[in-house]
């Protein structure tokens, strides 16, 4: 056979092979379909930082069963109260323990605790922790306190700057003995007053209004006595 005939026969064979491949491609569906089976990935031969990489993301897509918890929209009120904290504005006259006892009786809970005792005549924020939240009480009791005090002086002060200087003198570490009517032993102790500020002075009624930021356990009544001595 001549070279021309050989080349022609080769071309016809190639065309037949191509047509056969096209028929096979049409017969086989190469579309990617979703499947539940995930083939395992062998990472034992991967670099050391990528070994066991396939085991890092092991969180499944299941949800917590309802007997073990509640969805936020369906959580009952009793569950909120169980871990609740009340930021209460304590009125004057009742003691902190009385207010806490009232809350315990009203909410019908097992345990209640407050973040720090306020004197009966003192009004202000009293943080009351309920049931499981009572373990947070100690962390609140040691936190700093802020007070706004109204004190009456026995006599008229000719210069208001003298009162401001007296407050500056009482800033820092000071010795304090709790008053006669108090919930702790009357032992001399050191308390730190971080900052103080004179807000107002009424010369006609001898009233002083000041603000202090102090350590927990500071008695403002004792500070008023010291302010009068200055």
Strands 145-152 and 207-214: antiparallel
Helix ranges restricted to H, 36-144: 77-82, 96-107, 137-141
CA 17 to CA 35: how far, in whole Å? 34
Backbone angles phi, psi at 103, to 5 degrees: -65, -40
| CB hemisphere CA count around 72 (13 angstroms) | 0
Active site residue 3: no
CA 226 to CA 156: how far, in whole Å? 17
| Contact criterion met (CB below 8 Å) for 116 and 129 | no
What are the tokens at 63? 């949800």
Catalytic, out of 42, 119, 131, 159: 119
Q: How far is CA 212 from CA 130, 151, 219, in A?
A: 29, 13, 11
β-bridge partners, 208:
151, 201
DSSP annotation of 105 reads H
Instruction: Please identify every residue annotated as catalytic.
Output: 119
């Amino acid at each position: 056979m001549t070279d021309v005939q050989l080349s022609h026969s080769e071309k016809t064979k190639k065309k037949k092979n191509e047509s056969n491949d096209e028929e096979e491609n049409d017969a086989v569906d190469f579309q990617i379909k979703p499947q539940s089976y995930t083939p395992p990935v062998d990472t034992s031969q991967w670099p050391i930082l990528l070994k066991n990489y396939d085991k890092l993301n092991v969180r499944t897509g299941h949800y917590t069963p309802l007997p073990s918890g509640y969805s936020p929209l369906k959580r009952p009120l009793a569950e909120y109260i169980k871990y609740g904290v009340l930021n209460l504005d304590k009125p004057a006259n009742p003691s902190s323990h009385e207010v806490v006892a009232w809350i315990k009786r009203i909410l019908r809970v097992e345990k209640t605790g407050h973040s720090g005792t306020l004197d009966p005549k003192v009004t202000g924020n009293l943080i009351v922790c309920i049931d499981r939240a009572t373990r947070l009480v100690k962390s609140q009791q040691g936190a700093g306190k802020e007070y706004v005090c109204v004190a009456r002086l026995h006599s008229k002060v000719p210069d208001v700057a003298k009162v401001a200087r007296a407050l500056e003198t009482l800033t820092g570490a000071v010795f304090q003995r709790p008053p006669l009517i108090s919930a702790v032993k009357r032992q001399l102790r050191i308390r730190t007053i971080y900052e103080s500020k004179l807000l107002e002075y009424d010369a006609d009624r001898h009233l002083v209004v000041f603000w202090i930021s102090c350590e927990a356990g500071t008695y403002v009544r004792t500070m008023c006595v010291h302010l009068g001595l200055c």
